[in-house]
Every structure is written in C-alpha cells, then in structure tokens.
C-alpha cells in the first residue's frame, strides 16, 4: 500500500512538473500579447524599457545581466528536463526503484531552488541600477507579472 502511494505521489509530481514546463514553453514562445481592443502591446524587455524610461547605460547593464541570467537559467532548465525524463523512465519500469525516484526528485528540487536564487539575484542586480522612482515602477511590474496569467519572468527574457 505504501509503495503504491509513493508511486502515485511521484507520478502526480511528474505530471505537475510537465504541466509547469508546458505552461512555461507556451508563454515563452507565444509572442506579444494583445490588448482587449486587439492592438499589440510591447512585452518583455521592451515594455520595461518603455515604462521605466531606461537610460542608454541602464539598457546596456540590464542586457548584460539578462544575457548571463538566461544562459544559466537555460542550463538549469535543461538539467531539470533531463531529470524529469529520468523520473518518467523510472516510473515506467516494471518495478520502479523508490530510492532512485526519491533521489531524482531531490535533484529536481535542488535545481529549482538554485533557479529561484538566480531570479532573486537578478532582480536585486537590476534594482541596483535603477533610480528610486524606477525601482518602484519595476517592482510594480514584477508584482503585476507574478499575479497575472501572462507568466512570471517575461519582463527579463524579452519575448
């Protein structure tokens, strides 16, 4: 009974991870959003540039931060995807190894924590190059994106 519970719990976690990945990819590749009137609105980095009225120096620094941030985040994402595949393969085995499943799940969790720490560092780095007024606007944009259905993180990637 306990073995079945763990297998079902891991299966549910896998489905949740795959759904999160699908949502991320959907939002990453769908392009500009449309307003309720059907007009295209700037998204991502372009929106941040416009709303914060970034100077040329700020734009250069912001883009440098974005490039390094996304290189690392993409690497972490690729590692997570590989681990998710391993998790599904192990679940598909005739007799899944619960110790291996637990180990894979722990590695996925560690990568997720590292990604979250990178996001926090990125936000603090960007905040440091902004004026106090720009910081207020920037944090308002972050809050709006984290609570909207357009997907968190879009302001940094520039999709």
Is 34 a residue whose pLDDT tops 80? Answer: no
**Residues paired with 34 in a beta bridge:** 40
Residue 39 phi/psi, 5-degree rounding, is -85, 145
pLDDT at 95: 93
pTM, two decimal places: 0.62
Domains of the chain by residue range: 2-25+44-157
Contact 5/101 with Cβ under 8 angstroms?
no
Whose tokens are 């180990």? That residue is: 103
Question: 43-57, pLDDT tens digit by residue?
Answer: 678 888 888 999 999
Which among 44, 43, 13, 31 is positioned nearest to 108, based on CA atoms? 13
Instruction: Give CA–CA dist 46/155, Å, rounded.
Output: 8
CATH architecture of residue range(s) 2-25+44-157: Up-down Bundle (1.20)
Of residues 116 and 40, the one with the higher pLDDT is 116
């Amino acid at each position: 009974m306990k073995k079945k519970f763990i297998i079902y719990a891991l299966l549910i976690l896998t489905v949740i991870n795959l759904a999160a990945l699908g949502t991320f990819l959907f939002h990453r590749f769908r392009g500009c959003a449309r307003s309720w009137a059907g007009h295209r609105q700037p998204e991502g980095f372009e929106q941040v540039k416009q709303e914060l009225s970034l100077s040329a120096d700020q734009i250069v620094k912001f883009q440098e931060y974005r490039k390094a941030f996304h290189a690392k985040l993409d690497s972490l994402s690729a590692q997570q995807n590989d681990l998710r595949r391993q998790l599904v393969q192990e679940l598909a085995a005739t007799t899944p190894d619960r110790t291996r499943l637990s180990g894979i799940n722990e590695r996925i969790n560690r990568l997720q924590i590292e990604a979250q720490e990178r996001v926090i560092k990125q936000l603090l780095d960007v905040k440091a190059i902004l004026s106090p007024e720009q910081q207020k606007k920037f944090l308002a944009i972050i809050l709006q994106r984290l609570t909207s259905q357009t997907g968190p993180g879009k302001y940094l990637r520039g999709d």
